[in-house]
Structure 1
C-alpha cells in the first residue's frame, strides 16, 4: 500500500523508494516558490504545480486552501496516493512512476470532491494563434480569448484566456473555487502577454472574474472578462461562462437576399428602439427578448418600418447611460435575457422581413473599476495621458487605437455581432469624437498628431479597417456613422480616400428642419432656407435623416411638444413635417414614440405612453407613419435615387412668402415620379399651380390633412388632371388646393 508522507522523516512506498519530506520541500519546490504558491503570488505556477519529475522520482503538487486532505488517484485502477501538506494550502504527493492520468480527491470540511487537475493540462494556445494575436490579425479574437467550454481529450471544462501583458500574475476566480485567487493561477505567454488555463469540471453558467497582481505585486480590483460573451444581471458585475452557440437559425433566405442587394437603392426606414423601455409587462417590468419579439415585431410590421435599430445592448453598468457606456463589448445585456434569447429575437425579425441594426460604441468606455480601466495595472486599453485618454464631456476613457490588440478587440466585437447574432448593421456612436484629437477640448488640453494636426490618425485608420473588413466579410451589412461635422468623404469608399461608411446621419438636416418647424408659421418665411439648404450638400454623402432619441431628451421635449400653435396645429405641423421627411432624399430613422406623437419627453425608466392611442389624433399620426412607410417601400422614386442629384428636382423652392415647397423625386427610367408639395402655414391655398413633367391624371397618394390622420380633410379629391400649361420650368401643371399645415404626395397615373 502507498506510504504516508510526514514532515521530517523518510517514507517508504511500495516500490522501495524513500524520500525525505524535508528534501522534497527544499529540492522539489524551493522555499520562496512554496511561499509564493501558497500566497497566490507565483507568476508561473505551471512550473511547479501538477505532475513533475525530480531526479528519478515523480510528484504532483496542488493548491487547495481550506482542504483537510488531498489524495492523488491514479487512473484507471484507482490507486490512491496521499499528499502531504507542505505549507498552508500547498499539497504534494510523491508517486512511484509518471502519472499518465490522475484525479485529485480533495476532502473539504463538509464535503468530498474529485476533480481533474488543471495543472495536468499544458497550454492550448498555438504558436500561430499567439503570433496572430500579437500582430492584431485575429478577425475573431473572441474565439480564442474569454471563457470557452471545451473538451481536452475526454475531459470537459472551460478554457480561460486574457490579455494582461504587464501583470505579474493573473488568476481565474469564481463560484467554482470560492473566489480564491490562489487556486487557479494562469500560465503566461511572455512575448504576447496572454494568460491561459484550462479548468476541468467548470461548466457554462459559471460566474467568474480575473484577479490580477500588477507589476509591483499589488492586488488590483477584480476584473470582468473583456471578452465575456455573457454577464451577470447588473448591478452585479461578474462575467458568465457562455454556453457554446447552438442557435437553430431560420433566416437563410434573409441572409442570402441581404448579401445580394444594393443597399443604396432599397427602401430603408428605421424604428429606433430602447428595448428596456419600449413596452413593459403587466407587472411593470421591461419585456425580455422573447416577449419583446412577440409584441415589437408585429408592431413594426404593421407600421411598415424596414429595420429596427436597438440602442446599445452590449452590457453596461449604468442604466442612465442608455447603453452608451458599455463594459462588455461581446455580451448582450443580461437585463433582457441570455445571448441565445437575443439571437432568437434577431432570427424572428429576419423571418418577419425586418432588419436589425445595433448601436455600437467604439469611441469610449466607462471608468468602472471592474472594467477595462487600468486593466493590468497600466493603461492597457486607454491612453496614459488624460489629454488623449479621457473624454471630458462624459468622464469616460478613450480607446488607444494605436495598439494592435485594442483595434483587434474592437474590430472583433463588431464582427462578432454580425457572425454570431446575424445583425444587419452597426450604427457607430460618436464618430466625430473619434476623428478629432481636440474634440470638445480647449486649447492646450489636447495633443496634436505626429504631423501637428488635430486629426486622430489612429482612429481614422481603425474606422477605415472596420468598414473595409465588414464590406469584405459580411456583404450587405450596413455601417452607419453618427458624425456631426463636415468631415469629407465619410461614406466614400476607403479606396477613394473616404472612411467607407454605408451611411452618415444628416445632423445638419435634423437641426435645420426641426429648428424651422419649431418656429411660429408667421415667421417661417424669414427662415425659408432652413429647408432648402440641405439640398445644397445632399449628394456629398449617403445620408440618413435621423429624428433620434437625442431629440427627445434632456429638456428638449417630445417632437409634438416642440410644434407651435394650438393642439390641432401641433398635430398638423408634425404630420406635415413627417410628410416632408419621408419624401426628402435620404434614408429614414424615427425614435420610438414619435410615430404616435408621444406627448412627454422620453425617459429610460418608463415605458412609452401607449394609452395615448385611445386618442384619435395620436392614432392618426400613427396611421400616417404607417402609410408613409408603405409609400416609401412601394414607390421606387422615393428610395432608388436617394443619394444622387438625378433623384431630386425642385419645382417650388423660392415661395418664402407662402412657406410652400414643391419638389419631384425620380427613380430612374420607367419609374413614375413623385411630387411632394408642403404648405407650412395654417392658411388654405387654393388654385396653387405647380409644374409637373407629365400630363394626364395625377393621383393624390397621401394628404397629411386627411380626416384619417386627424386633419381637416381638405384636398384634391384623389385624382386631378394635369393642364397643358407650362409652369416653373415643367411642361404641364397641376392646379392644387393646398390644405393648411400639410404635405401632399402625388404620382401620375400610367396605364
Structure 2
C-alpha cells in the first residue's frame, strides 16, 4: 500500500486536497494497517504503542521533504489500528512524542455545520475558530475555518514551525468548513491559516475571523485563547431599562490617560482608575470606543479585524475580564461600540478570504465604502449574518457586557449612502434600502432579546428611518435606543452662535421636542463632535473665557434636563481645551484651574440630580414626561419647561441663553405653592457669577403667565440653566 507518486508530490508541495485520505492510519486490502506522516524536518520516525510506549514500527522515509510511512505488524489486523504515538527525531537534534492529528475523526457535528450553513446557528464561534480541548484523552486545539472556495487550507503556527505542509485540514464539503484537531497545540500558541485559492495560488496568511485573542500590532497572528466563562452582571436589566437613569461616559481607552512613558495603560491600570472616576462623577454607564482587535490606531478601533477578540493593546483577554468586573463593582454598566457596517481590506484579515469576495459584497457598488476606504459585509449571506450576530452575542453573553452601540447604522440601511447616481445598485424591489441589512439588524436585536436578556443595543442612526427603536414585532428595527443626532446638530448650531443672534434660531432648540418621543433617544455629545477640526466643546462656545464656560455649563444643563438618555465624551466633563487627539492623553492638568474644576463639579451635580429625581429620567422616552412652559420667548432667548416622573412629581427648568440677567421673569406654574431652586449653573461653585434664587423659596402668585393662572417671579442668571422643585417634593 505504498503511496503513489502523485499523492506524494501533492503532499510534499502542500497541495493535497484530501490529506485524511492519505495521512494517518489506513487499512490495506490484505487487512494490515499502514501509518503515514508528513513531518518536514524529521530524520527518523517511530510508532509507539499508547499507553505503554512499546515500539510498533519504524517508518521509512519516502521523500526527503519529510514523508514517512510504514506497515504495522501483520498481527494488527483488527477493525481499528492500535492507539499509537509518533516519536520524532528532528534534524536539529530535538525529539518529540506526538499524537497523530490524522488519527482523529471529525469533531464537529453535522447538525452544527448544517445550522451554520443555513444561518440558523446563533453562536458559530462555538463551531469555528480555535478551541482548546481534549480528544480521546489528548490535549490539543480544534481549529475550524469557513473557506468554501479554497483548494486547500492548512493551519500554521508556533506548534508546527509555521509550515503549511504539516497540518492541512479536512474539508467538510456541505458547509465549506475546514477542520483539524492539532494535538499539543495549546493556549498561547500563535496561529494563522494558509489557503490556496480555487486556482491553487497561495494567499497571504490569514488571521482567524473567530479568534478570541490576537498578537499586538503590527504583528497579525491569532492566539489560541480560552473562551471567557463569566456570570452575567447582576442588575443588568434594571440599569438599562427605559425608565432608569442612563448617563454614559464615552471613552477612548488609548487616550483617556497614558502611562508615564507615554504608552497605553494596561487593563488592570485602567480598572484601577477609570471605573472609579466615572462612578464618582455620577455616570451610570461607561461606553468604550471599539475594543475589538484592529490593526490601525488611527481608526480609533472602527476598522475591526477581530470581531471576537479584545484588543491586545491593553493586555490579554483575562485583563479585559478584570476591567469589566471593576466596572460592575462600581455599579457601572459597560457598553462597547460594535462595528458591523464595514471592515478594513488588510490582506491578513477578511478581504477576499478564500480568494473570493467571501465576507464582502463582490460588486464595489455594494461592497466598498468610499468614506472609510473599507469593505462592506455581504449582509445577504447566511454565514456572514451568523458571524456578526454571533459576535454581538459573544460580547454580551460570554463577557457579560451590558450593551452594544452599533456604529454607522445609516450606512447599512441605505444602498446609496454617500454615493452618487450610478455608484450604487438598487435592491430587488428597485429601492435604495438595503433589505438584507435591515433583516440582519432585526435578527440581531431579536437574538439579543432572547439570548442576552437585560442587555441593550443602541443605534448610531442619523436619518429619519422610522421605528429604529420600535420592537421587531411592531415593524421596527428592534434597537433599545437611538442616538438623537438631530438634537445634537441643532443644539450645537445654536450654542455656537453669538447670543445676540440666538433669537433668530430659537426654534431650532425647541424643534427637538416635536420628535423627542418618536424613538427611545440618547442625547450624544460624542467623540465625533470634538475631532477633525470641529474643535472642543469649550472652544465651540462664543464670547470671552467667562462666557465660554457659562455657555458650556448651559449646554450641559440643557442636555441633562432635556428628555432622553445622556452621553458625554471624555474630557468634555472638565472643558478640555484641545481638540481630541487619539494619540495623546487628555489634558488633566486643566483641573488645576478652578474654572475647569467648576465644569467637572457641574457634571457631577447634574448626574446626581438626574439620578436622584425620577422627574428627570423616569419618562425620558415618553411624552407625559415633558411639558412646555415657555417655548416661544425668542426675544429673550428663554426656554422653560416641566419634567414629570408620571407619579405626580415635577421639576421646573429654565434656560437663559443671553448674557443679560432676567430679573423678575415670570414662569407660569400649574397652581399655588412654593418652589425652591435646587440647581443653578451660575453658582460660584461652578465658576459663575452667583446670581440666582437661593435665598429662600419662591411663592407662586395668582398672576397669569404662559397660559396659566399662577406664576413665580424668578431671577434667570446670564447664560445659565436653573432647576426649581416644588417644596412639597423637597428632599
TM-score for both structures, normalised by structure 2: 0.97
Give the drift of 1:301.
1.1
Corresponding residue of 1:168: 151
Corresponding residue of 2:18: 44
Contact 2:114 2:174 in 1 (8 A): no
Corresponding residue of 1:70: 45
Corresponding residue of 1:439: 417
Give the drift of 1:244.
4.2
CA distance in 2, matches of 1:261, 1:445: 44
User: Does residue 138 in structure 1 map to residue 104 in structure 2?
Assistant: no
Moved more, 592-601 or 262-271: 262-271
CA offsets 1:690-744 (integer angstroms, 9 cap, x no match): 0112432212111000000000000012532222323212332111111110000
Secondary structure of 2:255 counterpart: coil
User: Does residue 190 in structure 1 map to residue 173 in structure 2?
Assistant: yes
User: Does residue 59 in structure 1 map to residue 34 in structure 2?
Assistant: yes
Secondary structure of 1:265 counterpart: coil
Corresponding residue of 1:14: none
Superposition map of 1:246-395 within 5 A: 254-255=233-234, 257-259=235-237, 263-395=241-373
CA offsets 1:656-675 (integer angstroms, 9 cap, x no match): 111111111111123x2111
Corresponding residue of 2:88: 106
User: Does residue 214 in structure 1 map to residue 191 in structure 2?
Assistant: no
Give the drift of 1:262.
7.0
CA distance in 1, matches of 2:512, 2:20: 65
Corresponding residue of 2:540: 562
User: Does residue 681 in structure 1 map to residue 658 in structure 2?
Assistant: yes
Indicate which of 55, 60, 74 corresponds to 1:84: 60
Indicate which of 606, 609, 619 corresponds to 1:631: 609
CA distance in 1, matches of 2:271, 2:674: 43
Secondary structure of 1:264 counterpart: coil
Indicate which of 547, 570, 581 corresponds to 1:603: 581
User: Does residue 746 in structure 1 map to residue 724 in structure 2?
Assistant: yes
CA distance in 2, matches of 1:58, 1:416: 44
Secondary structure of 1:33 counterpart: helix
Contact 1:288 1:336 in 2 (8 A): yes
User: Does residue 419 in structure 1 map to residue 402 in structure 2?
Assistant: no
Corresponding residue of 1:699: 676
Give the drift of 1:473.
1.6
Give the drift of 1:261.
6.9
Secondary structure of 1:221 counterpart: coil
CA offsets 1:337-361 (integer angstroms, 9 cap, x no match): 1111111111221121100000000
CA offsets 1:523-555 (integer angstroms, 9 cap, x no match): 111111110111111111111100000000000
CA offsets 1:284-324 (integer angstroms, 9 cap, x no match): 22211111011111111110000000000110001000000
Secondary structure of 2:97 counterpart: strand
CA distance in 2, matches of 1:107, 1:152: 25
CA distance in 2, matches of 1:77, 1:314: 46
CA distance in 1, matches of 2:662, 2:102: 85
Contact 1:694 1:748 in 2 (8 A): no
**Are the structure 2 counterparts of residues 260 and 553 from structure 1 closer, same or farther at C-alpha, using a change threshold of 3 Å?**
closer
Corresponding residue of 1:401: 379
Contact 1:265 1:640 in 2 (8 A): yes
CA distance in 2, matches of 1:539, 1:77: 74
Corresponding residue of 1:13: none
Contact 1:205 1:243 in 2 (8 A): no
CA RMSD, Structure 1 to Structure 2 (Å): 1.2
Contact 2:143 2:179 in 1 (8 A): yes
Corresponding residue of 2:163: 180
User: Does residue 503 in structure 1 map to residue 503 in structure 2?
Assistant: no
Give the drift of 1:79.
2.7
Contact 1:545 1:581 in 2 (8 A): yes
Moved more, 58-67 or 180-189: 58-67
Corresponding residue of 1:4: none
Give the drift of 1:76.
3.0
Corresponding residue of 1:573: 551
Contact 2:665 2:716 in 1 (8 A): yes
User: Does residue 158 in structure 1 map to residue 141 in structure 2?
Assistant: yes
CA distance in 2, matches of 1:43, 1:607: 52
User: Does residue 123 in structure 1 map to residue 103 in structure 2?
Assistant: no
Moved more, 421-430 or 470-479: 470-479
Secondary structure of 2:270 counterpart: helix
CA distance in 1, matches of 2:350, 2:402: 27
Indicate which of 712, 720, 728 corresponds to 1:734: 712
CA offsets 1:490-546 (integer angstroms, 9 cap, x no match): 111111111111111111110000000000001111111110111111111111100
Corresponding residue of 1:18: none
CA distance in 2, matches of 1:584, 1:494: 27
CA offsets 1:241-293 (integer angstroms, 9 cap, x no match): 0024355x5xx6x43x3235771111100000001111112222221111101
CA distance in 1, matches of 2:190, 2:503: 63
CA distance in 1, matches of 2:126, 2:111: 14
Q: Which runs of 5+ in 1 are unaligned?
A: 1-23
CA distance in 1, matches of 2:169, 2:82: 22
CA distance in 2, matches of 1:245, 1:416: 9
CA offsets 1:155-181 (integer angstroms, 9 cap, x no match): 100000000000011000001111000
Corresponding residue of 2:437: 459
Indicate which of 497, 500, 512 corresponds to 2:490: 512
Moved more, 467-476 or 570-579: 467-476
Contact 1:71 1:93 in 2 (8 A): no
CA distance in 2, matches of 1:245, 1:544: 30
**Are the structure 2 counterparts of residues 150 and 44 from structure 1 closer, same or farther at C-alpha, using a change threshold of 3 Å?**
same
CA offsets 1:46-101 (integer angstroms, 9 cap, x no match): 11100111122211100111111111112233232211111121110221125321
CA distance in 2, matches of 1:679, 1:245: 51
CA distance in 1, matches of 2:237, 2:634: 45
Indicate which of 536, 545, 570 corresponds to 2:514: 536
Give the drift of 1:30.
2.0
Contact 2:249 2:283 in 1 (8 A): yes
Indicate which of 201, 212, 224 corresponds to 1:229: 212
User: Does residue 34 in structure 1 map to residue 17 in structure 2?
Assistant: no
How many pairs does the alignment contain?
Answer: 719
Secondary structure of 2:722 counterpart: strand
Secondary structure of 1:490 counterpart: coil
Secondary structure of 2:653 counterpart: strand
CA distance in 2, matches of 1:245, 1:436: 36
